[in-house]
Structure 1
Amino acid sequence: MSATYGYIRVSSRDQNEDRQVIALEEQEIPKQNIFMDKQSGKDFERPQYKRMVCRLKKDDLLYIHSIDRLGRNYEEILEQWRILTKEKGIDIVVLDMPLLDTRRGKDLMGTFLSDIVLQVLSFVAENERSNIRKRQAEGIAAAKARGIRFGRPEIQVPEYFGQVVTAWEKKEILPQRSQCVLDKLERGSV
Structure 2
Amino acid sequence: MPVIFYARVSTAEQNLDHQIAQALAAGFEIDEIIADHGVSGVSTTLAERPQGKRLFDRLRAGDVLLVRWVDRLGRNYRDVTDTIRHFIRQGVVIRTVINGMTFDGSTSDPMQQAVRDSLISFMAAMAQAQAEATKEAQKAGIEAARRDDRKYLGKKPSYSRAALGSVQEMLVTGAGASAVAKETGLSRQTVLRIKADPIAADAALLRWRL
Residue equivalent to 1:5: 4
> Is the 2:4–2:65 Cα contact (8 Å) retained in structure 1?
yes
Indicate the SS of the match to 2:7: strand
Residue equivalent to 1:69: 72
The residue correspondences of 1:10-25 to structure 2 (distance < 5 A) are: 10-25=9-24
Partners of 1:20 and 1:103 in 2: CA distance: 26
Residue equivalent to 1:107: 109
Residue equivalent to 1:173: none
Using a 3 Å threshold, how does the CA distance of structure 1 residues 34 and 12 change in structure 2: closer, same or farther?
A: same
Relative to structure 2, which stretch is displaced further, 8-17 or 51-60?
Answer: 8-17
| Amino acid across the alignment from 2:139 | A
Using a 3 Å threshold, how does the CA distance of structure 1 residues 97 and 115 change in structure 2: closer, same or farther?
A: farther
> Is the 2:93–2:102 Cα contact (8 Å) retained in structure 1?
no
Using a 3 Å threshold, how does the CA distance of structure 1 residues 71 and 55 change in structure 2: closer, same or farther?
A: same
Residue equivalent to 1:184: none
Shift of 1:13: 2.4
> Is the 2:34–2:51 Cα contact (8 Å) retained in structure 1?
yes
Q: Structure 2: which 5+ runs fail to align?
A: 151-210
| Amino acid across the alignment from 1:40 | S
Whether 1:126 aligns to 2:125 is no
Indicate the SS of the match to 1:22: helix
Indicate the SS of the match to 1:69: helix
> Is the 2:88–2:105 Cα contact (8 Å) retained in structure 1?
no
Q: Where is the helix percentage greater, Structure 1 or Structure 2?
A: 2
Residue equivalent to 1:52: 55
With normalisation by structure 2, the TM-score equals: 0.60
Relative to structure 2, which stretch is displaced further, 109-118 or 93-102?
Answer: 93-102
Partners of 2:56 and 2:95 in 1: CA distance: 15
Indicate the SS of the match to 2:13: coil
> Aligned pairs, how many?
144
> Is the 1:68–1:125 Cα contact (8 Å) retained in structure 2?
yes
| Amino acid across the alignment from 2:20 | V
Partners of 1:84 and 1:68 in 2: CA distance: 15
Cα RMSD of the aligned pairs, angstroms, is 2.2
Using a 3 Å threshold, how does the CA distance of structure 1 residues 65 and 106 change in structure 2: closer, same or farther?
A: farther
- Aligned-residue identity in percent: 30
